[in-house]
Amino acid sequence: MKIPRFLTIVLLSFCVFIPAFFGVNYNASALASPLSPMQKIAVVSTTTAELKTTVDNFLKSIPGDYYTVGKVAQLKQLLKQEDVFLVDVRQPSEYASGHIGDAINIPLRTLVQNLDKIPKKQPVVIYCSSGYRSAMAVMSLHLLGYDNVRGFPPSMNGWNAAS
């Protein structure tokens, strides 16, 4: 008996997407394991619990000031006093339409491929247009071992409004 195509799609969806929706991840080593289905779920649950603990610990380690330069005046003062390295994580077209000082442009999606351009021994301030992308960049760089990086949440919108 031939199974209708639509039924095949429904069955595949059930087998693939439903477990993914509930957080069950399949991998070859788990499938080859002699564990019962209940034991496999326990392994996934333990892994999920460990991941939650790791994320929780990371989030609790974030300082109250969230690694930020919170005001335009504060950034202007830093630019006068310190050798601050500015990184604009907006798209090249956004950067071309205006940027802060001597900022270099490293679009957020290319951040990891451009780590060699970001110093580890110099203060780094990251900004974008509204603060969203810069927050992701700051957290990503901190996870990668950069402890000299801060975001500028007012970003270009705040900078332009203050000018």
Question: DSSP string covering 35-89, please?
Answer: --HHHHHHHHHHHHHHHHHHHHHHHHHS-TTTTB--SHHHHHHHHHHS--EEEE-
Q: Exactly one of 128, 135, 141, 149 is catalytic; name it.
A: 128
Q: Is 15 an annotated catalytic residue?
A: no
The torsion angle over the Cα atoms of residues 13, 19, 21 and 22, rounded to 10 degrees, is 150
3-state percent breakdown (helix, strand, coil) of the chain, nearest 5: 55, 10, 35
Q: What is the largest CA-CA distance in the chain?
A: 79
Distance CA 14, CA 32 (A): 21
Q: Please list the active-site residues.
A: 128
